[in-house]
Amino acid sequence: MVSLMDASLYTAALSAALLLGLILTYAKVYRDTRAQFSLGLTIFAAILFAQNILAVYSFVTMSPFIGDPFLPYLLGINIAQVLGILVLFRTTLR
């Protein structure tokens, strides 16, 4: 059975993968159009990507130090982030 910590790790990794897709998409649009909005979206996605990579690293290295009462909240935050990124990803690809 997957623990809440593992689920948080997987959702953070999924967020990072989705954000990498957004970064590549926005960078291509910026390269083709030189639109400042696309540049801003690329930077925004890159910052969120870095945050998610740091979260994955933190979950792997510091999981013994995170108390069990916090785990449902961490998972909830990560699930909300994945859902938000999925909406952004779907909107971007339309």
**Residue ranges covered by each domain of the chain:** 4-93
| Sequential pLDDT tens for the chain (94 residues) | 569 999 999 999 999 999 999 999 999 999 999 999 999 999 999 999 999 999 999 989 988 888 888 889 999 999 999 999 999 999 999 8
In three-state secondary structure terms, 40 is helix
Q: What is the pTM of this model?
A: 0.90
CA angle, corner 7, sides to 80 and 11, nearest 5?
Answer: 45
Q: How far apart are CA 20 and CA 39, in angstroms?
A: 15
Q: How far does Cα 89 stand from its chain's mean position? A: 11
